[in-house]
Structure 1
């Protein structure tokens, strides 16, 4: 008893669909912009936020870092970007020091994002920060005379 009702023409049918799919993929790859195929570390300029400052970052733990020689906490969603603009997990670079552009979270003073710089990006002038400001105050906040 033969329950298989397929004919030989279906094999040819599948081959035709596979050839059309391959042709469509080739056409799609041909129209991709060239800029999407160049990584940031190889000459593509990354747009940093206007508020980004320049500094030296050392990752101490997944929540603590040293920025310009001073301890700072990292925001829970802190993003660290490689020179190729890929996300870097903080636990993979513990103890390492990088020249970075960084942004602090305005309301908490926590480190919000940092971009590890290439040599060319580090050579470009940018405002630096020797002090880290936070919104923490001590005392009553009254001005003493």
Structure 2
């Protein structure tokens, strides 16, 4: 019975391919080692974002991947909740646990779950927007002092 001897290189591969693969693996390891372990949310890069008309303004603190505090009140996050950075990229909720952000947000009307939130830059936060604690109504009463 003839047995094959195990060699690191077969007759069809060159020894140079081993060194190329090793160099690629080391390069990848260096790139991954240089990335931070926790996500940091950098400031905006000057792009203008358009928020939905239904978006409200508030303070958001992510407590867990399913729970958050919005304007001091506990709220559940929808399973598909999207949190956007100032650059409009997705932020994973587990990377910003315990951090407080000024956000525009949308609540899903039928379930009352937080479905989307956009972390605001200082410029976006300075622009006026309806907050969740403001009173919105479609009628007038005699005690209203400002004409509509």
Q: CA deviation at 1:42?
A: 2.0
What does residue 86 of structure 1 align with? 89
Q: CA deviation at 1:44?
A: 1.4
What does residue 105 of structure 2 align with? 102
Q: 2:116 aligns with which of 113, 116, 119?
A: 113
Matches of 1:68 and 1:93, distance apart in 2: 17
Contact 2:47 2:87 in 1 (8 A): no
Write out aligned runs for 1:1-145 (5 A): 41-130=44-133
Off by >2 Å, runs of 4+ in structure 1: none
Q: CA deviation at 1:130?
A: 2.5
What per-residue deviation string (whole Å, max 9, x for no partner) do you get for residues 12-71 of structure 1? xxxxxxxxxxxxxxxxxxxxxxxxxxxx91221101000000000000000000000000
Q: Report SS of the residue matched to 1:80.
A: strand
Matches of 1:60 and 1:109, distance apart in 2: 18
TM-score, normalized by length of structure 1?
Answer: 0.62
Q: Report SS of the residue matched to 2:44.
A: helix
The unaligned stretches of length 5 or more in structure 1 are 1-39, 132-145
Matches of 1:116 and 1:93, distance apart in 2: 11
Q: Whose helix fraction is larger, Structure 1's or Structure 2's?
A: 1
Matches of 1:41 and 1:63, distance apart in 2: 26
The unaligned stretches of length 5 or more in structure 2 are 1-42, 135-148
Q: Report SS of the residue matched to 1:41.
A: coil
